[in-house]
């Protein structure tokens, strides 16, 4: 009874509201209300081979499949999901949306043949400053729903690169060239890896990481991003 009273007081002082619309969340809702979840601007790329994300890697790396869950549009309220995920300690948003995305991927059979899930790593300094790697939390949700193992230390970022924001395509590619290194090649050898990130823009960072993974013998790469710009 005391615990319930304390929880009620906490809800009055710090109400749980939807990150997108700001409305109070109902029982069972986490971070995003059902109405906003239903209205999420889904890409449905998992139903479309040669979709926009896959095409960003054509002629650059050999990708088995690639997809993104929703559109990251300028001015959209749904951008708040990514903002909270990365900058407002909203790591659990990544896990929740990863699970929602995975349920739709399961229905279409996309990524059925992957062996493991690898989140795009942050540099150690940046991860310590933020307190977590947002891609790892997205990958965690995917892993839980898809039933595939999470390998979160299989590759590392050797050096900290400056932000990709406002950089052109060539500058983005040069900014992330050769910054990743596989640390557990034996654990990844012969695996079909699902490489996971929060937002794909030009795909330069994912491409750089995928190239390092493809140096491991008999590795195949698929790619998933929570959102696509």
Per residue in 148-207, pLDDT tens?
A: 999 998 999 988 766 655 565 656 566 777 899 999 999 999 999 999 999 999 999 999
Confidence check: pLDDT of 115 > 70: yes
Query: Residues 112, 221: one domain?
Result: yes
Q: What was the pLDDT predicted at 125?
A: 92
Same-domain status, 29 and 140: no
| pLDDT higher than threshold 90 for residue 10 | no
User: Residue 207 phi/psi, 5° resolution?
Assistant: -60, -45
Say if residue 135 is in the same domain as residue 189: yes
Please check whether residues 109 and 193 belong to one and the same domain.
Answer: yes
User: Which residues pair with residue 181 across a beta bridge?
Assistant: 156
20 and 73 in a single domain? The answer is no
Q: Using CA atoms, how far apart are residues 145 and 140, in angstroms rounded to an integer?
A: 9
Same domain, 34 and 57: no
The number of CA neighbours under 13 Å toward the Cβ of 45 is: 24
pLDDT at 11 over 60: no
pLDDT tens, position by position, 39-97? 999 999 999 988 999 999 999 999 999 999 999 998 899 999 999 999 999 999 999 99
Same domain, 50 and 33: no
State the residue range of the domain holding 29.
1-39
* Region of residue 22 (phi > 0: left; psi between -120 and 50: alpha; otherwise: beta): left
pLDDT of residue 173: 60
Considering the domain architecture, whether residues 156 and 199 belong to the same structural domain is answered as: yes
**Predicted pLDDT of residue 159:** 80
């Amino acid at each position: 009874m005391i615990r319930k009273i304390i929880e009620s007081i906490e809800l009055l002082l710090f109400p749980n509201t939807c990150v997108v619309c700001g409305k109070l969340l109902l029982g069972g809702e986490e971070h995003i209300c059902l109405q906003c979840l239903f209205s999420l601007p889904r890409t449905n790329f998992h139903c479309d081979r040669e979709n926009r994300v896959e095409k960003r890697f054509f002629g650059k790396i050999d990708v088995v499949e690639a997809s993104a869950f929703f559109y990251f549009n300028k001015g959209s309220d749904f951008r708040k999901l990514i903002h909270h995920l990365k900058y407002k300690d909203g790591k659990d948003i990544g896990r929740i949306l990863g699970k929602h995305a995975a349920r739709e991927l399961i229905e279409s059979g996309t990524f059925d043949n992957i062996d493991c899930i690898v989140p795009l790593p942050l540099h150690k300094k940046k991860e310590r400053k933020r307190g977590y790697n947002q891609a790892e939390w997205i990958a965690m949700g995917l892993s839980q729903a898809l039933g595939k193992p999470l390998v979160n230390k299989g590759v590392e970022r050797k050096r900290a690169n400056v932000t990709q924001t406002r950089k052109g395509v060539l500058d983005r590619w040069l900014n992330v060239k050769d910054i990743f290194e596989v640390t557990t090649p034996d654990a990844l050898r012969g695996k079909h890896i699902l490489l996971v990130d929060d937002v794909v823009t030009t795909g330069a960072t994912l491409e750089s990481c995928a190239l390092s993974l493809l140096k491991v013998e008999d590795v195949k790469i698929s790619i998933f991003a929570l959102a696509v710009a």
